Structure formats: structure tokens, C-alpha cells
A and B are shown apart, each in its own frame.
Chain A
């Protein structure tokens, strides 16, 4: 492990991809499954996985970065994919250690997994549960969650959304905080997926669950339309 750490700190992705194989043997999918529980607030993996707040993670290892169809990725991830970069065990490890440090501008609101061992367990679990992407054999893209799709189909009332947004701005600054993120400029699919998860309770936060529970589909569509355009 000690050796791994120094390698991770020093070498490029190409080297990492090759070097991580021995370490993967140390990753325990069972422990990874336990560690993955909080990730489920935003990410699905395995049979029937669809995009939620975050993209589904089937075939995440060796998958092109920021390219999974049907998900609105941040510019930085989409650009990385356009350059041909893929999620190797090494780049996943770096990303999970601190998403915003590795890809500044990512919409993934997560501080990171500090323990390298834990990250290896997580990668082992994601490989076990979601498989590895292979050229031409990517797991078939699944449709967007029907509840989210129905809200995305509503033409959001921007003026209503602006009024409703005043409830959000008591806590969400445009500039964002260290723990309460900016929500201005979010893609509607991302905003709606997040709020539906709070409304259903699949993503837990006392304040957000309470706020979301009284927002109907019309309200979510209005807010999504307003925040998507808000400068």
C-alpha cells in the first residue's frame, strides 16, 4: 500500500492504469458495497441502473469520461471525454480522492474519500456490480427515470420559478459555499433528478427533504427552467 501511494502521487494516468492492477486485488467488493451506500444518494449501479443526480456507474471502469448518453455532464468532464480520456482505475482513484480538485468545475458535490484503501474497495465493488466497459460492448443505455422524464416534459413557468427560487436563495448563494452548493445554471435534468431524489427520500437531508416534499411537478419544472437560464 505504501508503495502504491507514492506511485499514485507521482505518475501519469498511463502509468497508473498499468500499475493499479496489483492494488485492485487488494480491493474488497464486499467492503466496497458498504462504502458505496452514501454514493447511492446520487448514483445507481447494477441491473436497471439509470441516471439520477449523477450518471449511472455501470461499466464505469474504462468508460469514456463525460460521454454517457442521456446525462448532462459538466463542461469539464465532457471536454475530457471529447479528448478521448477514459475512467481508468487510476483516474477514478484520483477523482474519488477529491472530485473538485481533480476536475475543477465538476458538478459532483462531494468532498472525496480520504482513505486510499477505501477507494480501492469502491473500485473493486464498482467493477463487480457494474462491469468494465469494452469497446463496442458498452452496457445498453437505459432510459431516463420515468418520474424525472415526466417533469422534464413539462414546460417550466420561468416567472413562477423565479418566485419559488427565493426560497432557495436564503441558503444557496450564487457563488456557492463549502457545504451548500450553488444551484444556478444547473441543467434541468440534473436539478430535477436531485430534487426528485430529495422528494422521494432516496437522497437524505433534513432541510432539503422538507423543502422538496411540498414541491409538485409543476413547481420543480418551473424551478428547473428558471435556474437553467438564470445568470
Chain B
């Protein structure tokens, strides 16, 4: 085991290795936490466990990407409100400020009896507590005709990074008067307002650059998050541009042909110029490899986010079946802090406090027209339940909407600091 640890430590950045050196010397006595996935859940958990453990806990973060691009605010990049580079964040702060061992590799397996995680490189990492925060993967066959192999023709752009860049390039290359289509996902999925904010941002871009273009939204759901607010915004800002086909009009009976660039709705094929397919979703693959899923997600205790299958495994964010919280970066960040407190307490005997969660999802409709929805939550035996909530109202004053948007910009800086700095 010690040999394995040295091997993978050697592959991480030099700075990390030098800071981690004292930890190697006392590794046998120091409890080990391994975090898989460096997004809102995993990065926050690694940061808080390392910070609050204050050297008494050895924290390893396994994340294949060196630069993490947030999924949230990717829509603002599509609309031209945010720079792509500003979506990117590195793990240098976690390594240098908190001594987290950052390992850029894929976690491919979990041996729950031996308490080890297997990496794609072949190395094996031992843990006392394992945190899985792998985000989402897509359900095969969710949208007939679409598979991951078609994602360059019909991007999902529903994980941060290159897919979002690709979608932006395709929108920019649309012919004048062309058609942008989106196939929206069925519930439950990451970021409930996300597809509809994206429609707003694509409409904003097209209104400026391609005003005769049309947007076709094919949606299998009867209703969606902040629906009244979005539809009011679309009518005010993009009247006549957006057509939504709900399940009553065949929106749930959809098939795509990436080669022909067609979307068939209830058997009628439409030729489109860009097709953003956001398929049905499930927990990231490592949750299945670990054998802790039930259906598409990994059920957890609402009190500390530990797996209902294995108490030494914590599941955060989108991958967890936890109850009432939406799958969002804000939720994952909130859950990670509750879990970090529980893990540090279990490993060091420090004080544990009751679980309390919160979430806010901001969306941008058009320039200076921001809306938000959010809630506070607590734990119950039946899962996480809402305590209180709020949502923007139709007809709010322009200055309220502008302030909501500006606050979302401040939030973005704050949450990414809370994860990485």
C-alpha cells in the first residue's frame, strides 16, 4: 500500500508532492479520505476536510481534468455574457493551500471490502472514508438515434468544457434563418432551469447575430422549473422566435438522426441546423462500479450524505438520491460541507453539527434580467426535505432583475472560491 501511495503521489504536481511529504511519513497513522470527482461536491469536500482536518486527515482528490470548467454559467458563455476561460478553474489552490493530494486520473473501480479505489493507470488507492462526487452520465437509448458517439454532431453540452465550446461554435455557424433545436431531458436531471436558461441565452445570441433564426424546444415534460418566469421572459424578449413542443404535441416521442441532422417529433422529421440533445441522466459510472446505486442514482442518508449501502462511502451532488434538493452545483457545495463536518468528526472526534442545506439557482433571461429560485433544507428519515423557499415573481421591477443578475455574478466568484481557493 505504501508503495502504491508513493507511486501515485509521484505522478502529481511537484508542489503537491513536496507539501504532502510529511503526510507520507505518518500515513499509516493518519486517516485517509479519498474524494472522486473535482466538481462542486468533490472539490468543496476535499477543501473543507483538509482545512478542518488541519493535517490530521490525509486527503486525496482524484479528478481526470487539470482544468475544471463549471457547467453553470456555461449558458452565459453561449449568450456572450461570460468568457470561456473564466469558466475554468485549476486544483492548484487545493494542493498548495490545503495540502490535498491531487491525482489527475480516472477512478474506474471500488473494492468496498479492501477499501481501495482503482485508477485507470492501474494504481490503487486505500481509503478509510470514500467520497464519490462523479456528477452525471447519460442513459443509453434515452433519445433514440443519439449516443455519446454522436456528441460531436449533436452536442449535449451538459457537462462543462469542450462540449459547450463546440455548441457555441455550431450556433455561430448557423445559416441566417436557420433552426436551433434542443431536446430537453426527462426528470430528474442536473440543473432543472439549465435547459431553459440555455434557450434564453441562445435566443439572445441569435437575436443579435441571426435575428430570423428559429428555436425549437422539444420537451418530454409537462412542466419545468421557473416555467412562468421563462415563458414571460421569452415573450418579452424573443417574441416569435421560440417554439416549445411539450408532451401533448409529441415532445416525448422524439428521435434524432445525427447524420441527416433531423429531429423526428411523433414521426414527423424536421431538418435542423444545430441540435442540442440533453439525454436522460444517471449517476456517474463510478457509483455503479462501487455497487451503491438503486435505479439510476445512489441513495444516501439525509443526515450526513453517506451511502445507504455502505456507511464508509459518501455520495455528493447530482449522483445522490437524497430527497428534495435539486441537482445543482449549489446543492452539491452545500451537501459537501455537511458531509465534511460529519467525516472530520468521525475521523478526528471533532464536534459534529446537525445537517442543514440550502440552494439557489439563478438564471439569466436577457441582459440585466435575472431570476432566481431557492430553498433551505433539513434532514429527515425520509430524505432531505425543504424548510422554506422563494422564487422570483413575474412583473418584478427592472432594477430587481438587474440586481438579481449582478448577485449571480458575485455568487459565481464566491462558490468557486469556496471550492478552489
Contact = CB atoms under 8 A, between A and B. Distances in A.
A214 B389 CA distance: 11
Nearest to B353: A163
B372 A206 contact: yes
Nearest to B411: A171
A74 interface: no
A209 B390 contact: yes
Interface stretch (A79-87, A147-155, A175-183): A175-183
Interface in B212-262: none
A210 B407 contact: no
Contact of A210 (B48, B389, B413): B389
Interface in A169-193: 169-174, 177-180
B403 A206 contact: no
Contact of A177 (B48, B375, B388, B413): B413
B337 A166 contact: yes
A75 to B, nearest CB: 24
A170 B414 contact: yes
B410 A171 contact: yes
Contacts, number: 80
B361 to A, nearest CB: 11
Nearest to A181: B410
A167 interface: yes
Contacts of B409: 177-179
Interface residues of B, number: 32
Interface in A98-115: none
A56 to B, nearest CB: 26
B415 A170 contact: yes
A207 interface: yes
Interface residue tally on A, bucketed by range: 20 to 34
B341 interface: yes
B407 A179 contact: yes
Contact of B410 (A177, A209, A214): A177
B418 A170 contact: yes
Contact of B351 (A159, A178, A179): A159
Contacts of B392: 206
B376 interface: yes
B406 A170 contact: no
The CB with the most chain B CB atoms within 10 A, among A163, A169, A213, A214, is that of: A163
A160 interface: yes
A230 interface: no
A170 B410 contact: no
A18 interface: no
Contacts of A39: none
Contacts of B411: 170-171, 180
B194 to A, nearest CB: 18
A211 B374 CA distance: 10
Interface string B282-319: 00000000000000000000000000000000000000
Interface of A: 159-160, 163-164, 166-167, 169-174, 177-180, 206-207, 209-211, 213-214
